[in-house]
Amino acid sequence: MNFTAAKSELFPGEEYTYLLTPLLPFKPDFFETFATLCDVLIDCYTRFLSLVPTPRECTTPVAELFAKADGKLRKIIVNGVVKKFKEHSRSYVKTEVASIGKVVLGGLI
């Protein structure tokens, strides 16, 4: 099985060294994928924090770099998920309100 990324999947000038992007014969489950991503992020943050055993070793430049990386992760991953969650919630609420409206109007007639 070949897990190397096809040239058409990469942006111009990009080269993936560690990221494997195999073609899947099925559509992955969003919730399972998101839960796995959260587990990986928890492991990453735990390992980052283990590199700095006490607050004394966490100097200002280290804290700034950590905050910068955290901000980028939050912007890329969390904001996208929150946006999709809001969209899904709004569409679900509209559907529910429409169905309640039909019940109320049906009772008046």
Alpha carbons 20 and 84: distance in angstroms, whole number: 25
The CA-based angle 48-21-5, given to 5 degrees, is 120
SS (H, E, C) 28-39: CCHHHHHHHHHH
Per-residue model confidence (pLDDT) at position 90 = 93
Residue-by-residue pLDDT tens, the chain, 109 positions: 444 545 556 667 777 677 677 788 888 887 888 888 889 889 988 888 888 888 888 888 888 988 898 888 888 877 888 888 888 889 989 999 988 888 777 776 6
DSSP assigned state of 75: I
Predicted TM-score (pTM) of the model is 0.49
Domain ranges of the chain: 30-87
- Give backbone dihedrals phi and psi of 6, rounded to 5 degrees, phi first: -70, 150
How many CA atoms lie less than 13 Å away from 75 in the CB half-sphere? 6
